A and B are shown apart, each in its own frame.
Chain A
Amino acid sequence: NAGVTQTPKFQVLKTGQSMTLQCAQDMNHEYMSWYRQDPGMGLRLIHYSVGAGITDQGEVPNGYNVSRSTTEDFPLRLLSAAPSQTSVYFCASSYSPGLIYNEQFFGPGTRLTVL
């Protein structure tokens, strides 16, 4: 199993550009989520999905879109990048939502810089 994979590892964008951060998992996990990590802020939830076709907003969703057309993939789209979106982005997945909560498996992260 590759676990959770993220591409690219690094990206530099100019203000106003759009891009998609890719996330895939091969563990058949229903639950997937995106976090951003900023210095001194910990990890903050952007969007999450409890299964294919279902997505919802987290703590800091503005400026980001997601979709979940398959169980495996959960891309994060930046429609018009802003310098405030400079961050490290982590994708995570876990077995299932519900009251029995399992550990989340994190991808290696994507370091995004917006100039």
Chain B
Amino acid sequence: AQKVTQAQTEISVVEKEDVTLDCVYETRDTTYYLFWYKQPPSGELVFLIRRNSFDEQNEISGRYSWNFQKSTSSFNFTITASQVVDSAVYFCALSEVQDGSEKLVFGKGTKLTVNP
């Protein structure tokens, strides 16, 4: 069985603070993909990043960075110098491969509120 755990249900920070959103996953697959999606208050889901299980390099995109640690089955997401526009629900997801097709299993999400 696969599982994605986002232990932080809600986080509240003040603008310009750094914040890390945790994601821990469980899988028996040797090949898998991890994702982060953002859901702002408007409700749409926005793709942020995909990482495959063979690539443990950390990724940085502007103020966003991701730390993939296979040894601890974690794929954490850090926002540096947070801004009010970062307020959203963030979902971590894990792909599952069965019979050549892939399905995403989502965590329950972390609601981030950035206060001015």
Show the binding face of A for B, using Cβ within 8 Å.
31, 33, 35, 40-45, 48, 50, 56, 58-59, 88, 90, 92, 97-99, 101-106, 108-109
Contact = CB atoms under 8 A, between A and B. Distances in A.
B45 A106 contact: yes
A3 to B, nearest CB: 10
Contact of B47 (A45, A50, A59, A104): A104
B43 A42 contact: no
Interface string B78-116: 000000000000010101010011111111110000000
A108 B33 contact: no
Contacts, number: 60
28 contacts: A31-B101, A31-B102, A33-B103, A33-B104, A35-B106, A40-B9, A42-B4, A42-B91, A42-B109, A43-B45, A43-B93, A43-B106, A48-B103, A58-B103, A88-B43, A92-B45, A98-B100, A98-B101, A98-B102, A99-B102, A101-B50, A101-B102, A102-B50, A104-B47, A104-B104, A105-B47, A106-B45, A108-B44
A99 B101 CA distance: 8
A103 B35 contact: yes
B31 A99 contact: yes
B109 A101 contact: no
Interface residues of B, number: 25
Nearest to B42: A108
Given A58-B103, A109-B44, 14 more contacts: A41-B108, A42-B91, A42-B108, A43-B106, A45-B103, A45-B104, A48-B103, A50-B101, A90-B45, A97-B102, A98-B102, A103-B35, A103-B47, A106-B45
B97 A56 contact: no
Given A43-B91, A103-B35, A103-B47, A97 B108 contact: no
Most buried by A among B9, B102, B103, B106: B102
Contacts of A102: 50
Contacts of A97: 100-102
Contacts of A108: 43-44
